[in-house]
Structure 1
Amino acid sequence: MESWVVEETQKNERIDKLIVALHEQASRTHVQKWINDGAVTVNGHVVKSNYKVQQGDQIELDEPAPEEIEIKPENIPLTVVYEDSDVIVVNKPRGMVVHPAPGHYTGTLVHALLFHCKDLSGINGEIRPGIVHRIDKDTSGLIMAAKNDHAHEQLSKQLKDKTTGRQYKAIVHGVLSHTKGTIDAPIGRDQKDRQKMAVTHMNSKAAVTHFTLEETFNEYSYVTCELETGRTHQLRVHFNYIEHPIAGDPKYGPKRTLDISGQALHAETLTFVHPRSEEKMAFTAPVPADMQRLLDELRDSH
């Protein structure tokens, strides 16, 4: 059960549109079905999709359980960086979706892991077995998955407590004026386009990114980024916010950009404490060939 109280800035908004903005994963079609099925109430009463909310309205959503989708293991090659009976670390290629979602019911990392591992934690249910954290489809790099519930709980706690380390390499538009910096700006659903996230103070969560400038080129910069928090599209949103969008990003960057399929963003380093042995683990994966090619071309032309 989720609930919200309507703020003054939200009054007179259609309830279906408002819930789409408040709910990170629901589409307007989903929300309208929930409203028609009586899963949404305002001040204890069922309403219609076109109901215009008023300040102080108490909205409650009793979200129905998702329809079960049978996920079958698929023999998809994986680049396994580390594996034991508790955890597996994989270098995910750009273009691979992490877990099944609308439009991506096959060919995901979860399908590949189910074939490779046979055993994954069940905490996230059938759709996301073993998945502790995510990286975007068109971001490459290191991701960890848990093979049992104990490992999943321990790794999730480390993410929540901000004791894991996640460093990324990125090529961004423009020449950064600072060699080091911190972007501390809350992220929430974009009010104008629900497919995007944005820096906003409305229904948002704290988001902090640290960056170090590695190299500059004529029109681009190469940076190391460290996540203090892990919000959806965080690095892509934050660098767009400071007017240095990530190169190749079709959602947040300019159309005129570098020749790469997806954003030039790579999860290079991952550190965590092993959930059973309590040993500190550290893994590194070099940037993929297409991103290295871009770096070489930028260096040659600089």
Structure 2
Amino acid sequence: MKFSFILPESLPSMTVKRLLEDYFLIPRKIRHFLRTKKHLWVNQKEVNWQSLVQPGDELTLFFDDQDYPDKDLLLGEANLVEELYQDQHLIVVNKPEGMKTHANQPTELALLNHVSAYVGQTCYVVHRLDKETSGAVLFAKNPFVLPVLNRLLEKRQIKREYWALVEQAFQQREAIFREPIGRDRHDRRKRRVDPKQGKRALTRVSRLKNFPHQALLKCQLETGRTHQIRVHLAHHDHPLVGDPLYNPHKGPRLMLHAHRLRFIHPFSQKEICLEAPSASFEAQIQLLKNKG
């Protein structure tokens, strides 16, 4: 593999060593290979680890097969992928409801397998959506980019905005739910609010529209706990319509959709803001509007 890109203007001057360790988060083993094999160039020239890099410099990295061994992954069906954005580093796709983000078994096919077939190489999951949830999902196109994107996710610099259709009218215009979330001891599939042993969880909720017996909400995650939106809303007596785990009433589907994904691209430093459509979600909302 070979990567060449221009260092962004917002990047301060720093040594090659600091760039690889603190900015790109390249693992120590890989940094060792780059240094000993002289597989890092700046402006088409070999450099040492204490050389300074400046905004606008061209960085070129070379990787052998032993640096990043091929990951054995069963390829899926490329025609099942709806691309929202793609460049040499990453791809964002629109996941349909009813499809897993990644497989649990080697012979199972999931969105990751289909995306890898679409791109023509093994891709890597940056964040996931529940099987029943639809919307925008981010994948790294190679293992070098993965830790950089993971860092953005950990620092909450990848903003995820969801649409949620819930039971009952939502009286507040805005709310913040902070209840810690832990495992449900009685059902391994579920999570629950657990003030004592649960992990920190924060969900911001805004009301978009009230219907007679339901409400359309916008939810933004500040943390990434499993089933976070589903658990918080159910705990506050507004379970998601069609939620098979937290709502006993049936619905057309789990009415949760990752509507918008926004982040600053780590290499270009340009803002990427993407919206994912969902025909099934939007049809249900239109049906409620028509009932008026």
- On whether the aligned pair clears a TM of 0.5, the verdict is yes
User: Following the alignment from structure 1 to structure 2, what is the Cα–Cα distance between the partners of residues 191 and 155?
Assistant: 33
1:204 Cα deviation after fit: 2.1
Where 1:115 maps in the other structure, the secondary structure is helix
Decide whether aligned partners of structure 1 residues 89 and 188 sit closer, same or farther in structure 2, where only a CA change above 3 A counts. Answer: same
User: Does the 8 A contact of 1:79 with 1:91 survive in 2?
Assistant: yes
1:105 Cα deviation after fit: 4.1
Q: Match of 1:88?
A: 91
Any stretches of 5+ residues in structure 1 without a counterpart?
1-68, 121-128
2:255 counterpart of 1:264: yes
**Of the candidates 138, 143, 151, which is equivalent to residue 145 of structure 2?**
151
1:38-117 matched pairs, under 5 angstroms: 71-76=73-78, 77-101=80-104, 105-117=107-119
**Of the candidates 268, 271, 275, which is equivalent to residue 277 of structure 1?**
268
Where 1:223 maps in the other structure, the secondary structure is strand
Q: Provide the TM-score with structure 2 as the length reference.
A: 0.72
Q: What amino acid maps onto 2:284 in structure 1?
A: L
User: Does the 8 A contact of 2:159 with 2:263 survive in 1?
Assistant: yes
1:70 Cα deviation after fit: 5.7
Percent sequence identity over aligned pairs: 33
**Of the candidates 282, 296, 299, which is equivalent to residue 289 of structure 2?**
299
Q: Match of 2:121?
A: 119
User: Following the alignment from structure 2 to structure 1, what is the Cα–Cα distance between the partners of residues 140 and 202?
Assistant: 25
What is the RMSD computed on CA atoms of the aligned residues? 1.7
Q: Give the length in aligned residue pairs.
A: 221
Structure 1 segments, 4+ long, off by >4 Å, are: none
1:75-224 matched pairs, under 5 angstroms: 75-76=77-78, 77-101=80-104, 105-120=107-122, 129-224=123-218
Q: Match of 1:15?
A: none
User: Does the 8 A contact of 1:96 with 1:109 survive in 2?
Assistant: yes
Q: Note the alpha carbon deviations across 1:57-91, whole angstroms, 9 max, x for none.
A: xxxxxxxxxxxx96311224200011111000000
1:150 Cα deviation after fit: 3.1
Where 1:149 maps in the other structure, the secondary structure is coil
Q: Note the alpha carbon deviations across 1:126-182, whole angstroms, 9 max, x for none.
A: xxx510110011100000000123321111111111111100001000111101111
1:274 Cα deviation after fit: 1.2
User: Does the 8 A contact of 1:151 with 1:276 survive in 2?
Assistant: no
User: Following the alignment from structure 1 to structure 2, what is the Cα–Cα distance between the partners of residues 200 and 291?
Assistant: 31
Q: What amino acid maps onto 2:213 in structure 1?
A: E
